[in-house]
Amino acid sequence: MTKYEKAIYDIVAASHEHLTVSQVYERLKESCPQVVPATVYNNLNKLWEAGLIRKVSIEGIPDRYDSAHKHDHLVCRHCGKIMDISFEDLTAPLRSQLGEDFLFYDLKVYYLCPECRAAKGQKAK
């Protein structure tokens, strides 16, 4: 792993947020002021392709990067906030239905977060 790959991996793995390329870039600049955005983008993609981090793609917002540990996501349909959640592992039922192995699955459940629900309720009054 290169110096930048390691630093970017550490930033994503240590974060409890779902970071954009820009956020990773800003954090990396603190320790590597000479880094350019293309380096961050390219290394995030290398780490994702290697399965070391996850890319969370949601229509209408920039891709986010997350640790690779098994978990699912709640996505607010209104504000786009992403939260980690753990549901029962679906690997066995999916294998059974497909009759073969698959690469991975990515479960995203869309809802309205409490803040957006509250704001929507206030506007309705």
Position 18 scores a pLDDT of 94
- Examine the fold and report which residue of 28, 48, 68 is the final residue of a domain before the chain moves on: 68
CATH number of the domain within which 109 lies: 3.30.1490.190
Let me know whether 83 and 104 are in one domain: yes
Let me know whether 45 and 89 are in one domain: no
Q: What is the pLDDT of residues 41-59, one digit of tens each?
A: 999 999 999 999 999 999 8
List the chain residues with pLDDT less than 50: 124-125
Position 125 scores a pLDDT of 47
What are residue 72's phi and psi, to 5 degrees?
Answer: -115, 180
Look up the domain containing 50 and give its range.
1-68
Let me know whether 53 and 86 are in one domain: no
Let me know whether 98 and 59 are in one domain: no
Let me know whether 52 and 75 are in one domain: no
Helix or strand (DSSP H, E) at 28? helix 21-31
Q: To the nearest 10°, the Cα dihedral for 39, 47, 109, 116?
A: -30
Position 52 scores a pLDDT of 95
- Measured in whole angstroms, the distance separating CA 103 from the mean position of its chain's CA atoms is 18
Q: How far apart are CA 110 and CA 80, in angstroms?
A: 9
How many folded domains does the chain comprise? 2
